[in-house]
Amino acid sequence: MYEFDYHRPTSLDDAAGRLSDEDAKLVAGGMTLIPTLKLRLAKPTQLIDLGALPGLTGITEDGDSVVIGGMTRHADVNRSEVVKRVVPALAAMAGLIGDPAVRNRGTIGGSIANNDPAADYPAGVVALNATVRTNKREIAADDFFTGLFETALEPGEIVTAVRFPKVAMANYQKFRNPASRYAIVGVFVARTSAGVRVAVTGAGASVFRVPAMEAALTASFTADAIKDIAIPDDGLNSDIHASAEYRAHLVTVMARRAVAACG
């Protein structure tokens, strides 16, 4: 690792203020940042540990929604009786992230702020039409993820919570890398009050929706309704794990499995 200054602020204002240094990095669970530092792929001047900030952990039911604090661990989302009751597909998805060590350290806020193209949470946030809360504002799911490891977060902005509305039906299916458990392709299908939403992770540079599938499922919420919908492989990820063509094929396969599991 390179030399850096370590800070453990006890207030959001202090943490946000330290982000005025453009080379400062936030640490939530550290599941991505710490390995990156060990490999000397990042050289921050300051590390700002969010672990001591009050009010950023916990899960609460708020009307027809569940609000999850940004520093809440994946394992806590997976085990939460509130999440299981309001959005059971989200609890199930959290249980598929990484391995027990990752689930007991990684956080929802860190995951979506990092926006790894193969992460699971972005698909859940978009498919469930969630709202991301920061120390400055609220951001709609469709506006939050903007590109490869990029989000709508501005300098000095920290994810404090995510609000997920209750859904009628939802399911997440992923074809995972057997070593990392990251999604080679993951598809989250949800039937919400705003309509059907289909969100894909792992296949492209960032999470994306599939309007053709959403329209077909709105007309007929069955796996057969989308069996003939092909996803173009232009611009999809292609690497040692899977070609773009194979990932395009997997989108339809995982989407059909998710719809069938909703029944």
Alpha carbon distance 263, 256 (integer Å): 11
Of 53, 74, 89, the domain-final residue? 53
Which positions ≥6 away from 207 have C-beta within 8 Å? 115, 122, 123, 125, 126, 145, 199, 200, 201
- Of 29-38, 84-93, 142-151, 155-164, least confident by mean pLDDT is 29-38
- Asked whether residue 1 carries a pLDDT value surpassing 80, the answer given is no
- Report the mean per-residue pLDDT for the chain: 95
In a domain, 122, yes or no: no
In a domain, 179, yes or no: yes
The closest alpha carbon to 202, from 107, 111, 116, belongs to 116
The pLDDT value given to residue 263: 62
Range of the domain at 40: 1-53
The pairing of strands 159-165 and 65-69 is antiparallel
Instruction: Give the amino acid at 192.
Output: T
User: pLDDT by residue (tens digit) across 25-78?
Assistant: 999 999 888 888 888 888 888 999 999 999 999 999 999 999 999 999 999 999
Of 14, 30, 53, the domain-final residue? 53
Of 18, 33, 53, the domain-final residue? 53
In a domain, 235, yes or no: yes
CATH number of the domain residue 184 falls in: 3.30.390.50
In a domain, 12, yes or no: yes
In a domain, 45, yes or no: yes
For 54-72, give one letter per residue: b (16+ CB within 10 A) or e.
eebbebeeeeebbbbbbbb
256, two tokens: 């059909």
In a domain, 86, yes or no: no
What letter does residue 18 receive in the DSSP assignment? H
In a domain, 72, yes or no: no
Can you tell me the mean pLDDT for 188-216? 96
The closest alpha carbon to 108, from 142, 143, 83, 137, belongs to 83
Q: How many domains does the chain have?
A: 2
CATH number of the domain residue 48 falls in: 3.30.43.10
